[in-house]
Amino acid sequence: MPQDVDFYIPLPGRQSPDHARAAVDQLAWPRALGLIRSEAAAERHLRGGYADLASRFYPHATGTDLDLGVDLMSWFFLFDDLFDGPRGERPEETRQLTDAVAAALDGPLHTSAPPIAHGFADIWRRTGEGMTPAWRARSAQHWRSYFAGYVTEAESRHRRTPYDSADAYLSVRRHTIGVQPTVDLAERLGRFEVPHPVFHSAVVSSMLQIAADVNLLLNDIASLEKEELRGEQNNMVMILGREHGWSRTRSVSHMRDEVRVRLEQYLVLESCLPQLGDIYRLGAAEREALERYRDNAVRTVIRGSYDWHRISGRYDAEFALAAGAQGYLEELGNARR
């Protein structure tokens, strides 16, 4: 993220005390599954700092719980890189891969499924451990929306019809930014569940939408140079330019203001949580779960994203382009074996 862009993030930064150990061990899982098969790929992966990201998203997690968070972050970015190449412009090819991965939500995968799908199957199995069927169904729906968003984005690229309004873009990008599955995992790692009716309340839904919006606005600024180099047109900076005729500087300034406004709204929503507990007549344990969701899930996905974007090497243009192209070629090679 450009160092000269200041953001209003009125939430404390936190990090797991086990982050150094997790960082040392972070390559074991993707290597074992064949998601990283060369030293060059390992080096690129380490430069992304995904163990650092997980330790900020899940500061309450240690040991195998934090490892699951790290594996999810590794998987997210390895998966995303597969669409930086030609596949990301071919809707049917995109759909084939996302369907192959999403099949893990419905049962065991065939051995012929690509490594990225087996990686997701392992994460999904571990994520569901100890969680209720209702929670697993809710999380599965979030994953389906995430995968569907990739197909929608590929259709836009294929038609050469980039989004012409911020609202249209947000309606898709809120899913593909991956915030909801990321926040879901915080419940699993903390061994708690937000009561179902409360999760779907207007207050919690608005908090989560703000978390997604802040993440995608930060991400689009950080990835702008990379996306310009590979011809991507669906970036909020570019969309605001097309929609309003703004310069890049004006668009970035607007996005910075949008982050500030959204987080001011977020703090107001947070202040409503005690009353929300009263409205839904929550017991002591349910109120505690809601507080933990605020502190160890929603807040951390906002602040953790900001802190990570400022230090990650993922958005160095040359690094990111090479990672995307190599990821696509390696996955394509695996699929043909």
pLDDT tier at 50, thresholds 50, 70, 90:
very high
Q: 21, 60, 80, 126: which is the annotated catalytic residue?
A: 80
Is the pLDDT at 221 greater than 50? The verdict is yes
pLDDT, position 316: 83
pLDDT, position 337: 39
The question of whether 60 is a catalytic residue gets the answer: no
Is the pLDDT at 332 greater than 50? The verdict is no
Place of tokens 């179902």: 196
The question of whether 43 is a catalytic residue gets the answer: no
Q: 16, 55, 219, 305: which is the annotated catalytic residue?
A: 219
d(CA 304, CA 53): 7
Is the pLDDT at 264 greater than 80? The verdict is yes
Q: 16, 74, 223, 296: which is the annotated catalytic residue?
A: 223
d(CA 44, CA 36): 10
* Percentage above 70 pLDDT, the chain: 93
Q: 18, 52, 84, 213: which is the annotated catalytic residue?
A: 84
The question of whether 77 is a catalytic residue gets the answer: yes
Nearest Cα to Cα of residue 307 among 76, 66, 75, 55: 55
The question of whether 258 is a catalytic residue gets the answer: no
Is the pLDDT at 335 greater than 60? The verdict is no
Is the pLDDT at 214 greater than 60? The verdict is yes
CATH number for the domain running over 19-30+38-335: 1.10.600.10
- Token duo for residue 112: 């012929």
Q: 135, 309, 330, 331: which is the annotated catalytic residue?
A: 309
Task: Report if pTM > 0.85.
Answer: yes
Is the pLDDT at 331 greater than 70? The verdict is no
The question of whether 230 is a catalytic residue gets the answer: yes
Per-residue pLDDT of 225-236, as tens digits, reads 989 988 889 999
Q: What is the DSSP code string of 99-165?
A: HHHHGGGTSPPPTTS-HHHHHHHHHHHHHHTT--HHHHHHHHHHHHHHHHHHHHHHHHHHHT----S
Residue 200 belongs to what H/E stretch? none
Mean pLDDT over 183-199 rounds to 97
Angle between helices 133-159 and 115-128 (to 10 degrees): 150
The question of whether 226 is a catalytic residue gets the answer: yes
Q: Which residues contact 11 (CB under 8 A, 6 or more apart)?
A: 263, 299, 302, 303
d(CA 90, CA 79): 16
Q: Which residues contact 155 (CB under 8 A, 6 or more apart)?
A: 91
The question of whether 79 is a catalytic residue gets the answer: no
Q: 138, 173, 299, 314: which is the annotated catalytic residue?
A: 173
Per-residue pLDDT of 143-176, as tens digits, reads 999 999 999 999 999 999 899 999 999 999 999 9
The question of whether 309 is a catalytic residue gets the answer: yes
pLDDT, position 323: 54
d(CA 210, CA 217): 10
Lowest mean pLDDT among 119-123, 158-162, 259-263: 158-162
Is the pLDDT at 300 greater than 90? The verdict is yes
Q: 29, 75, 76, 135: which is the annotated catalytic residue?
A: 76
The question of whether 173 is a catalytic residue gets the answer: yes
The question of whether 142 is a catalytic residue gets the answer: no
pLDDT, position 5: 73
pLDDT tier at 328, thresholds 50, 70, 90:
very low
The question of whether 56 is a catalytic residue gets the answer: no
d(CA 298, CA 198): 14
Is the pLDDT at 9 greater than 80? The verdict is yes
Q: 230, 250, 260, 292: which is the annotated catalytic residue?
A: 230
Is the pLDDT at 257 greater than 90? The verdict is yes
Give yes or no for a contact between 183 and 217, defined as CB atoms under 8 angstroms apart. no
The question of whether 44 is a catalytic residue gets the answer: no
The question of whether 90 is a catalytic residue gets the answer: no
Mean pLDDT score across all residues of the chain: 93
Is the pLDDT at 274 greater than 90? The verdict is yes
